């Protein structure tokens, strides 16, 4: 690959990694707000706003897996873990620093909003680790099995499995730590998983679009990957 295209590929990888990390960290910070969504009156989803950016992380790892390979996808996951725990440290320090009298956000309000973030980050990271590595492993299993064909198959199979594991694990941990009441467990599990499945269906065309653009730009064959380390 010529040098200019190699530089462009590195910039794209860094941009995807930045979007991934931002989505992951933000989802852990905003999870305490819940809302409902009732599309066409068919089903009432009751979900945390923290779930909104989270499916983006799975779309991005699928794009990276398809274009840059399993190794680079795993690297982004590891960097995301570091970023999430670093944000946890910042929140902890910010919560311990006393607010001045003229501060628009006092100690009690800050603690009420961000005080459970360490629990959320811990629960999310444990679920995230398990789900993301399963997502990447299943994605590449189907990629190898189908010889790089049927992108929709590996995208949806990997996402469905990993999203259920993620939703189940994070809710079990949040309820166990007292961050959420057990009465909400089943409704949040069903709503969260169904919402992620719905998003997975909608993000499949986006995955096809991005993969098609990258293959066209970098002259990649079906199943071929860009080796950024070469």
Per-residue pLDDT reduced to its tens digit, 111-144: 887 776 566 667 766 777 777 778 778 877 877 7
Class of domain 3-218: mainly alpha
Mean pLDDT lowest for which of 22-26, 74-78, 155-159, 183-187? 155-159
pLDDT in tens, 186-195: 888 888 888 8
Query: pLDDT: is 148 or 61 the higher one?
Result: 61
Query: Residue 183 pLDDT > 90, yes or no?
Result: no
Model pTM score: 0.78
Task: For residue 69, give both structure tokens.
Answer: 């390979």
DSSP code of residue 227: -
Mean pLDDT lowest for which of 36-40, 132-136, 208-212? 132-136
Q: Which residues, 6+ apart, have CB-to-CB distance to 115 below 8 Å?
A: 95
Query: Residue 163 pLDDT > 80, yes or no?
Result: no
pLDDT band at 29 (very low <50, low <70, confident <90, very high): confident
* The pLDDT of residue 118: 67
With vertex at residue 23, the alpha carbon angle to CA 22 and CA 26, rounded to the nearest 5 degrees, is 80
- Decide: helix, strand or coil at residue 35: strand
Mean pLDDT of the chain: 82
CA torsion, ordered 120, 53, 198, 128, to nearest 10 deg: -40
**Residues 60 and 20: beta-carbon distance below 8 Å:** yes
pLDDT band at 171 (very low <50, low <70, confident <90, very high): confident
**Angstrom distance (rounded) from CA 156 to CA 147:** 17
Query: Residue 90 pLDDT > 70, yes or no?
Result: yes
Query: Residue 151 pLDDT > 70, yes or no?
Result: yes
């Amino acid at each position: 690959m010529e040098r200019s295209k190699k530089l462009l590929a590195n910039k794209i990888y860094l941009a995807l990694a930045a979007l991934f990390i931002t989505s992951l960290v933000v989802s852990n910070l905003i999870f305490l707000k819940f809302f409902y969504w009732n599309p066409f009156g068919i089903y009432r989803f009751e979900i945390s706003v923290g779930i909104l950016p989270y499916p983006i992380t799975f779309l991005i790892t699928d794009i990276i897996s398809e274009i840059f390979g399993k190794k680079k996808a795993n690297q982004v996951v590891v960097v995301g873990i570091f970023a999430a725990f670093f944000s946890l440290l910042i929140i902890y320090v910010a919560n311990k620093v006393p607010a001045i009298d003229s501060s628009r956000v006092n100690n009690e309000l800050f603690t009420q909003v961000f005080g459970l973030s360490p629990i959320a980050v811990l629960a999310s990271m444990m679920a995230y680790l398990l789900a993301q590595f399963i997502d990447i492993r299943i994605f590449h299993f189907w990629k190898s099995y189908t010889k790089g064909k049927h992108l929709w198959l590996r995208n949806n199979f990997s996402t469905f499995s990993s999203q259920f594991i993620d939703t189940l694990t994070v809710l079990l941990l949040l309820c166990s730590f007292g961050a959420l009441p057990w009465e909400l467990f089943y409704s949040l599990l069903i709503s969260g998983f169904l919402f992620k499945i719905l998003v997975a269906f909608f993000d499949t065309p986006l995955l096809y679009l991005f993969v098609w653009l990258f293959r066209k730009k970098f002259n990649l064959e079906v199943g071929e990957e860009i080796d950024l380390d070469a």
